[in-house]
């Protein structure tokens, strides 16, 4: 996972490339503030007691 400190244009460009997308620098700049907030929040998920929980990938109520 990208940590908040890693959110610069070079890192975003590389991550997008690895994911198979070629976003322009302007497009990446537009995303950066929101991604910084999102990564901070997503990092909190690592602190949750979920390691032994089966993920709801195929989610069924019954």
Partner 1 sequence: MADLIWASMTELARMIATKEVSPVEVVRAHLGRIAALDDRLRAYITVCDESALEAARAAETALASAVPAGALHGVPIALKDLFETAGVRTTAGSKILGEAVPSADATVVTRLRAAGAIVLGKLNMHEFAYGPEGLNDHYGHARNPWGGVEARIPGGSSSGSGVAVAAGLAPGALGSDTGGSIRIPAALCGITGLKPTYGRVSRAGVLPLSWSMDHAGPMARTAADCALMLGAMAGYDPADATTSVLPVPSYVAALNGDVKGLRIGLLRSFFLESSAPEVRAAVEAAVKLLADQGAVVDEVSLPHLADVPAATMAIIGSEALAYHAAWVRERSADYQRDVVERLRAGAFITGVQYVRAQQLRVLVRRGVDEALTRRDVLLAPTAPITAPRLGEREVSIGGVATDARSALIRFTRPFNFSGHPACSVPCGFVSGLPVGMQFVGRPFDEATVLRAADAFQRLSDWHTRRPVVD
20 contacts partner 1 (rule: CB under 8 A): yes
14 contacts partner 1 (rule: CB under 8 A): no
10 contacts partner 1 (rule: CB under 8 A): no
Q: How far apart are CA 12 and CA 15, in angstroms?
A: 5
Contacts for 11-17 with beta carbons within 8 Å, 24 or more apart? none
Binds partner 1 (CB under 8 A): choice among 1, 10, 13, 29: 1
Q: Say how many residues touch partner 1, by CB under 8 A.
A: 35
CB-CB contact of 43 with 3 (8 Å)? yes
36 contacts partner 1 (rule: CB under 8 A): no
């Amino acid at each position: 996972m990208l940590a908040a400190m890693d959110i610069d244009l070079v890192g975003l460009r590389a991550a997008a490339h690895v994911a198979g997308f070629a976003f322009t620098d302007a497009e990446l700049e537009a995303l950066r503030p929101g991604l910084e907030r999102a990564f901070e929040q997503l990092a909190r998920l690592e602190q949750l007691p979920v390691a032994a929980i089966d993920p709801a990938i195929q989610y069924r109520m019954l």
